Amino acid sequence: MQKSSKCHDATRHRLAVIPMSLAIVIMTALPASAQQPVSMNQVNASLFGANVASIPDVTERAIQSVVNVKSMKKAPDMSEQMRALQEHPFFRYFYEGRGANPRGGQPAPGEEYQNSLGSGVIVSSTGIVLTNNHVVAKADSVKISLNNGDEFECDIVGTDPESDLAVLRIKKAPANLVPMKIGDSDQLRLGETVLAIGNPFGVGQTVTMGIVSAKGRSDVGIVDYENFIQTDAAINPGNSGGALINSKGELVGINTAILSRSGGYQGVGFAIPSKMAMAVQESLVRKGHVSRGFLGIGLDDISRDVAKALKLKGGRGVSVTEVAAASPAVKAGLVAGDIVTHIDSEAILSARQLRNRIGRKAPGTRIKLRVLRDQKSKSLVATLGTRPGDEALANTQKGKAKANGRAGMELEAIRKSLKERFNIHPQVNSGLVITGVAPKGAAARMGLKPGDVILSVNQSKVSRVKNFEAALQKSEGDVLLLVARGRRIDYVMLKL
């Protein structure tokens, strides 16, 4: 989302032209005997409601609570070879006066800082700022600047990559901070007017206007837990972490991402609802991490053909592919093969939607599930547990194979953190990741290495370590593996 794009002063034009066009409609709609001059306040009231004086009034109040965020990460140190190269006369000739010597200029390679610009929202007079995780991820230092230009250093209180939210605390926060009023994002209606405030492209605070285009977008694929508000208010790189406000100047969303072919605004922007954002913020401030509900099931979407065969109304439902031992799902009576059609009377259309619904609930919450089993509908009640962390979840649910085993490799079920760690291709979303290889084991002899992903064993898909181990036990000789490495997918015969 950080691609460059040509900027222009569209904001002022939009805020000026749109109300005027509406003013013309209002004036011409009145009977001839009732036509009177219409003021801008009347036009704004027609857009934002009678209780709000005008768009500028709302903006002037809200903009005081939106900050620019600058995160800095020190560039990696130069290698010994690079240090030697820096002393070479040829190198010094080109970098003379540019930081390669004490005379100043630009910093030499290895001495630079990588900067990331974004936005944030003050949500407490004590100096708590809500922003996106991707704005401050892996930062060595973070600074924010207020609307009046005052700049302050910040501590990172906590981050939640799974929702792309982060909480900052201003060091030596001034007494005159203006926290933004928090609105109820659940009350937003389609077509409702909203304003987006942020720092696009680092040009400075900018306000754009649009409407709520959609709610509850949960299959965008940006983060693990999604429930986005979609808006056509112009959002661009640098707006991340900024405010989406309603007609009362209340925070209803944290601007997060756009769908774009060019890297710039194309009419589809996404914001994290304030209700979800504030729950994450409260948890990060209070505990330093986010506790999410945990049911303990594996899920998969149902194809149209299967839905038709099962006579699922509207193709609704997701299949339960596995149930973790001693999990809340087991206690509730769920079994692999069940089709979950509803949660708390809400129809379920996708596995991601069900996962999001469970993840947004607190541990200890009782939920009602409606499942289809053997062509019969059943109602079950489950009490959610606490979702383990990534490592614990992988080890308790999926298992972990040791590198000194029969295959000579360590395996873990694929997940986001492993994909990032080994730079696994984005389209590889299932299988077992090789995280370690014994130097003289069977895997090493066949050229397998950490980061490879095993997609199938003997032409059967594999997603759990215990299934892989079971396949090895059944095989007395060689095992056929389908392995993904980068963009390539190849068969490998593992000779045991």
Q: Clarify whether residues 410 and 463 are in a common domain.
A: yes
98 contacts: CB under 8 Å, gap ≥ 6 = 105, 106, 108
Cα separation, 445 vs 451, whole angstroms: 16
Whether 282 maps to a domain, the answer reads no
Q: What is the pLDDT of residue 96?
A: 45
Q: What is the pLDDT of residue 252?
A: 97
Q: What is the pLDDT of residue 32?
A: 41
Active-site option among 54, 116, 134, 463:
134
Whether 397 maps to a domain, the answer reads yes
Whether 100 maps to a domain, the answer reads yes
What is residue 282's three-state secondary structure? helix
Q: What is the pLDDT of residue 259?
A: 80
Whether 315 maps to a domain, the answer reads yes
Whether 306 maps to a domain, the answer reads yes
Q: Clarify whether residues 352 and 408 are in a common domain.
A: no
Phi, psi dihedrals of residue 354, rounded to the nearest 5°: -65, -40
- The structure tokens listed for 262 are 């060019």
In the beta sheet, which residues pair with residue 381? 368
Cα separation, 387 vs 389, whole angstroms: 7
Q: Clarify whether residues 312 and 379 are in a common domain.
A: yes
Listed residue (267, 352, 362, 230) closest to 302, CA to CA: 352
Q: What is the pLDDT of residue 76?
A: 56
Q: Clarify whether residues 395 and 473 are in a common domain.
A: yes
| CA separation, residue 449 to residues 240, 340, 411, 472 (Å) | 37, 38, 11, 19
Active-site option among 160, 163, 164, 463:
164
What is residue 270's three-state secondary structure? strand
Asked if residues 404 and 437 have their Cβ atoms less than 8 Å apart, the reply is no
Q: What is the pLDDT of residue 315?
A: 64
Choose one of 366, 386, 406: the last residue of a domain: 386
Tell me the residue range of the domain where 100 lies.
76-108
Mean pLDDT of successive 10-residue segments in the chain (496 residues)? 39 31 33 47 53 76 95 66 53 44 43 74 96 91 92 94 94 93 94 94 89 86 83 90 94 90 80 93 89 87 78 78 86 90 90 86 92 89 80 42 67 87 86 86 87 88 84 77 84 79
State the CATH number of the domain containing residue 356.
2.30.42.10
Asked if residues 166 and 133 have their Cβ atoms less than 8 Å apart, the reply is yes
Asked if residues 362 and 224 have their Cβ atoms less than 8 Å apart, the reply is no
Whether 256 maps to a domain, the answer reads no
Q: Look at the chain and report how many structural domains it folds into.
A: 3
Report the alpha-carbon angle 181-183-187, nearest 5.
165
In the beta sheet, which residues pair with residue 95? none
Instruction: Say how many residues make up the chain.
Output: 496
Choose one of 108, 128, 162: the last residue of a domain: 108
Q: Clarify whether residues 397 and 487 are in a common domain.
A: yes
Choose one of 354, 386, 418: the last residue of a domain: 386
DSSP per position, 450-489: TT-EEEEETTEE--SHHHHHHHHHH-SS-EEEEEEETTEE
Cα separation, 266 vs 162, whole angstroms: 25
CA atoms within 13 A on the CB side of 248: 12
Whether 204 maps to a domain, the answer reads no
DSSP per position, 129-179: EEE-HHHHTT-SEEEEE-TTS-EEEEEEEEEETTTTEEEEEETT--TT--P
Q: Clarify whether residues 395 and 487 are in a common domain.
A: yes
- Residue 134 known to be catalytic: yes
Asked if residues 19 and 212 have their Cβ atoms less than 8 Å apart, the reply is no
- Residue 247 known to be catalytic: no
Cα separation, 241 vs 68, whole angstroms: 9
Whether 327 maps to a domain, the answer reads yes
Active-site option among 240, 260, 274, 327:
240
